[in-house]
Structure 1
Amino acid sequence: MSTTTEPHDPPADPASTPSSAASPGATEPGTLRELPPITTGDRTFQRWGLRTHKVEFGEDLLGVLRTYVPPVVQPGDWIALSEKVVSVCQNNVRHISTVRERWLAKLIVKGVTKYPKDIAWSHPKKMQAAIDMAGYPRMLAATFFGTITRAVGIRGVFWRIAGRVSEIDGFNPDAMWPYTEYCVLPPIDPDGVCRTVADELGVPTTIIDGNNIDVKIISVSPGFPVSKADARLILLDNPMGQDEEMTPVIVVRETRQA
Structure 2
Amino acid sequence: MSSTLSSQAPRTHRPLAVPLPHASPRAHVPPLFRHGGLRALPSRSCRLYLGKDTPHTVTLSQRQRFRPGFAAASAAGAAWAGDPAEWRNSEAGAAEETAFGEAALGDPGTYDVASNERWLSQEKARLLTVQGGKVPGGLLLTRGKWQWVERGPSLYRLVGHMSFHNTSSKQEIFIPQVTAGVVLLSSHSIDAIRTRVTIAPRHPGGKPAARADGYWAGYITRASESTAMEVTVEIRADSGEAALAHLKAARLDVHYIAYGPHGSLPKAQHVVLPLSFPPTPSLSTALAPAWRSIAPGISVLAVPTHLLCHLDDPLLVLKWYAAPYLQPGDIVTVGETPLAIMQGRFRHPDSVRPGAVARWACRPFHPTSSLATACGMQSLIDVVGAVRVIVAVLLAALARIVLRQRGVFYRLAGQQARLIDDVTGTLPPYDQFITLGPLRPQETVDGLSAKLGCGVAVVDVNDLKKVQILAASSGVDHERLTAALLSNPAGNAEEQTPIVIVRGCSKS
Structure 2 CA distance for aligned equivalents of residues 76 and 96 of structure 1: 42
The 3 A distance-change label for structure 1 pair 174 and 164 is closer
Structure 2 CA distance for aligned equivalents of residues 124 and 193 of structure 1: 30
Structure 2 CA distance for aligned equivalents of residues 239 and 106 of structure 1: 36
Structure 1 CA distance for aligned equivalents of residues 407 and 297 of structure 2: 31
Aligned to 1:86: 339
Q: Are residues 1:205 and 2:456 paired?
A: yes
Q: Are residues 1:164 and 2:412 paired?
A: no
Q: Are residues 1:253 and 2:503 paired?
A: yes
RMSD: 2.6
Which consecutive unaligned segments of at least 5 residues does structure 2 have? Answer: 1-26, 32-276, 282-287
Structure 1 CA distance for aligned equivalents of residues 451 and 504 of structure 2: 22
Name the SS of the counterpart of 1:250 in structure 2. strand
Aligned to 1:3: none
Amino acid corresponding to residue 179 of structure 1 in structure 2: Y
Structure 1 CA distance for aligned equivalents of residues 335 and 435 of structure 2: 11
Larger Rg: 2
Query: How much has 1:49 moved relative to structure 2?
Result: 0.9
Aligned to 1:135: 385
Considering fraction of residues, name the structure with more strand. Answer: 2
Aligned to 2:373: 123
Aligned to 1:189: 440
Count residues in correspondence.
223
Query: How much has 1:210 moved relative to structure 2?
Result: 2.3
Structure of greater relative contact order (alpha carbons < 8 Å, 6+ residues apart): 1
The 3 A distance-change label for structure 1 pair 234 and 113 is farther
The 8 Å contact of residues 86 and 187 in structure 1, kept in 2 or not, is answered as: yes
Structure 2 CA distance for aligned equivalents of residues 247 and 177 of structure 1: 14
Match of 1:73 among 313, 326, 332: 326
Structure 2 CA distance for aligned equivalents of residues 54 and 209 of structure 1: 18
> What TM-score comes out, normalization by structure 2 length?
0.41
Aligned to 1:22: none
Q: Are residues 1:109 and 2:359 paired?
A: no
Query: How much has 1:154 moved relative to structure 2?
Result: 0.4
The 8 Å contact of residues 208 and 217 in structure 1, kept in 2 or not, is answered as: yes
The 3 A distance-change label for structure 1 pair 95 and 35 is farther
Aligned to 1:216: 468
The 3 A distance-change label for structure 1 pair 231 and 166 is farther
Q: Deviations over 1:6-65 (max 9, x none)?
A: xxxxxxxxx9xx89xxxxxxx94545354451x4xxx64111211111111232111111
Query: How much has 1:253 moved relative to structure 2?
Result: 1.0
> What TM-score comes out, normalization by structure 1 length?
0.77
Amino acid corresponding to residue 452 of structure 2 in structure 1: L
Structure 2 CA distance for aligned equivalents of residues 106 and 186 of structure 1: 21
Structure 2 CA distance for aligned equivalents of residues 241 and 122 of structure 1: 24
The 3 A distance-change label for structure 1 pair 238 and 166 is farther
Identity between Structure 1 and Structure 2 (%) = 27
Amino acid corresponding to residue 331 of structure 2 in structure 1: W
Name the SS of the counterpart of 1:111 in structure 2. coil
